[in-house]
Amino acid sequence: MRASLPTPFKNTCFALALSAALLTGLSPAVVHAQPGAAPAPMGKEEAKAYIKENDIYPVADNLAGQILNGQIDDVRAMLGAGVNPNEKTALPHTPIKLATMSCSGKRVPVEDIVTMIRVLAAGGAIVNTSNADASPMITAAQQCPAPVVKALLALGGDRNARTTQGFTPLSMALIVRNYDAAQALIDSGATISKEAADKLSKGAQDDKAKALIKKATK
């Protein structure tokens, strides 16, 4: 049976330990989905049966760990059982932000990350945040390939979000040379100012970057 949170009072400590392990290189088992697949929400009875069979503790902190692990069906089951995806957890990130964080290290297949984002959004998870530094789009622009960025955009992801330093997703993608993500943002209508373009151009070291900056400058 799958390991899960043993008791409510251990929940927060377990979630913190789990997230630390996941983000330092453990190789989790992942559920593979077909590209673009968007599984239907689990009904309540189906979700309860799945949770019982797989020994899952259905609370928000455990949901966060399963998102980082890329466990699509576990997340579907917890959402179907009524776990609130927007409930605060021990981790200072929204569920969809956690999904974009799983791009790091390429531990979870890209198509599974896209599916996870769609499953979470269908389950009521917020896509944008009031704090742009916590924006899934900012993270995706830096760490994720174009399909993840496109999935967020399709769900209303804010391409104009700004960090406290004033950087937009497109600026961040260009700075870290995530050119596929930058192209996806530009194709969606994202632009940069002439001032930002001048600054980025000074650091541009290849023709691809220069072409994207030129195309995005308004």
Distances (CA, A) of 110 to 15, 30, 34, 52, 164: 24, 11, 10, 29, 28
In this structure, what is the dihedral angle of CA atoms 158, 96, 40, 38, given to the nearest 10 degrees? Answer: 70
- 191-210 pLDDT, tens digit per residue, is 999 998 988 888 777 889 88
- 113-160 pLDDT, tens digit per residue, is 999 999 999 999 999 988 877 899 999 999 999 999 999 999 999 999
Instruction: Grade residue 18 by pLDDT with cuts at 50, 70 and 90.
Output: very low
Rounded to the nearest angstrom, the gap between the alpha carbon of residue 169 and the centroid of all alpha carbons in its chain is: 14
- 157-178 pLDDT, tens digit per residue, is 999 999 888 899 999 999 999 9
Residue 35 has pLDDT above 70, yes or no: no
The angle at the Cα of 79, spanning 31 to 72, to the nearest 5 degrees, equals 5
In order of their start, the domains of the chain are 1-91+101-126 (no CATH), 128-218 (1.25.40.20)
Residue 37 has pLDDT above 80, yes or no: no
Question: Which phi and psi angles does 208 have, rounded to 5°?
Answer: -60, -45
